[in-house]
Homo-oligomer: A and B are copies of this chain.
Amino acid sequence: MFKDATTDEIDSALRKAWQAFHLYRKFSLKQRADFMKAIAVELDNTGDSLISTAMRETNLPEARLRGERARTIFQLNSYAEACVKGDWLEARIDTAIETKIPPKPDIRKMLVPLGPVVVFGASNFPLAYSTAGGDTACAFAAGCPVIVKAHPAHPDTSEQVAHAIKNAVQKCNMPDGVFQHIQGNSFEVGKALVMHPFTKAVGFTGSYTGGKQLYDWAQQRKEPIPVFAEMGSVNPVFLLPEKLSNEADTIAKLYAQSITVGVGQFCTNPGLLIGVDSESLDQFIIRLGKAIELIAPTPMLHQGIAKSFNEKRATALSQQGVKLIASSDSPANENEGLPTIAATDAEHFLNNPRLHQEVFGPYSLVVRCKDLQQMNEVAAKLEGQLTATLMATDDEVINNHALVEKIKNCCGRLILNGIPTGVEVCLSMQHGGPFPATTDSRFTSVGADGIKRFARPLAFQNWPNQLLPDELRNDNPLGIWRTVNNEFTKNKINNGDSK
């Protein structure tokens, strides 16, 4: 058992982070990247011990946790590479034009770090979105110190990962305060971290209630700060008639899998399947139900999540017009999530906002629309989503333009003929979306673009070449891509150009 950090401890952590910020932000991109790679090595060194601790604390199976650690290591290494590559810096140079009236000065801009970032570990990704996860890696790449608030559901796992990071801090001669680890189960710890004047940004992955609370605190500060809270979503799947009639069976099997993978505990879990009344929709529902019946319940992350799943599932099933279609044939033990499919019609769905809410776990609701027109109405009424999926033939995409546009407008990632679970770590990934999926749809928490959450542009006007940061010097010593006089280039700037 870990004790909650006291207010004094939190204050002292932030002071230390603030001091470290003044050192760490001056470290070169290469030094930051080497540090991140060293964390990856140390994380790999945690061996079986970390896996067994995480298994005990999260009920997740060994293979998943080994995979998640590998993913975390991949994130650290790939964001380290992105850090050095420097595209994220958005280096822009406009050289002086002395003949202009008045003369145009030399101006050069690049992103610089915001300051200490507080990261709240996620319960459902004890490694990849927690202590050394995506937010931490992005903040380090940006040049920001990090204070991690361990998730109370896996404090030991978090402690072991923190230890690995601290090893890397020492080996790379980083300032002590560049990484700190705080335990806390109470409301007050989170609040004190967000409200501290030296906290300059917050990263969070978790529930709407938690994320929105952090966001509201951050806005109530004397100096509001950016909070990127990824708060999950229902990830609607639109089943278009022709596609469904062609492949009802395949789609049913695919989705039975996607709905229950990881006991449904993914932010991108498909919680809503929207179809048009037809024989093939009936067939699909029957087949999906049969597939779900065959999937045995497995333990959820922790008691709190299982309790919440059961309550939300019961509430959802008790809503007017909602019918239970199928649940797993095997009974669920305590702490297990019972795979469940329910159905309702679009009219009930449109009139009951409760049915739009996430039931975090292996639950999905089929919404029956009378026709495509009603499917359009459903799409127009959906809240912001991390993902939306369209199961459709090419012709159906083309012929349902208005529907497709509505779906685009509600989500951060639009999948065609696939499943939303499984989030690739790559530059083109968007893991974000309109509120309430996240608190700022303009950013992502997966992929190297996530670095930009924690950085801001700083322009240098009229600085002589020798006093500029390397990123902006004429000879481009770092060899990065820059926009020079409106053109992307890696070229050096000749003296002539900069006059």
Contact = CB atoms under 8 A, between A and B. Distances in A.
B460 A414 contact: yes
A458 B416 contact: no
Given A109-B429, A416-B461, 15 more contacts: A102-B422, A107-B426, A108-B428, A109-B427, A114-B441, A223-B436, A411-B458, A415-B461, A416-B463, A416-B464, A416-B467, A428-B483, A449-B457, A481-B488, A488-B488
22 contacts: A22-B405, A26-B405, A92-B449, A94-B427, A94-B429, A102-B422, A105-B418, A107-B424, A109-B430, A216-B219, A223-B435, A226-B440, A394-B467, A397-B467, A411-B458, A415-B462, A416-B460, A416-B464, A417-B462, A427-B483, A432-B456, A444-B457
A93 interface: yes
A230 B310 CA distance: 47
A460 B109 CA distance: 30
A428 B114 contact: no
A171 interface: no
Contacts of A397: 467
A427 B114 contact: no
B483 A418 contact: no
A408 B439 CA distance: 28
Minimum-distance CB pairs A-B, first 3: A430-B459, A92-B428, A441-B456
B94 A428 contact: yes
A434 interface: yes
B87 A413 contact: no
Contacts of A277: none
A457 to B, nearest CB: 5
Contacts of A459: 412-414, 428-430
Contacts of A494: none
The oligomer's copy count stands at 2
A296 interface: no
A63 interface: no
A333 interface: no
Contacts of A434: 223, 456
Contact of A461 (B394, B413, B435): B413
A453 B442 CA distance: 8
Given A224-B435, A226-B442, A422-B102, A427 B457 contact: no
A377 interface: no
B463 A408 contact: no
Contacts of A249: none
A485 B115 CA distance: 30
A246 to B, nearest CB: 16
Interface of A: 22, 25-26, 85, 87, 90, 92-94, 102, 104-105, 107-109, 112, 114-115, 215-216, 219, 223-226, 384, 394, 397-398, 402, 405, 408-409, 411-418, 422, 424, 426-430, 432, 434-436, 439-442, 444, 449, 452-453, 455-464, 466-467, 481, 483, 486, 488
A457 B412 contact: yes
A452 B457 CA distance: 13
Contacts of A461: 413-416, 418
A428 B105 CA distance: 11
Given A107-B424, A429-B109, A442 B457 contact: yes
A172 to B, nearest CB: 21
B449 A432 contact: no
A409 B107 CA distance: 18
A159 to B, nearest CB: 31
Given A415-B462, A457-B449, A93 B226 contact: no
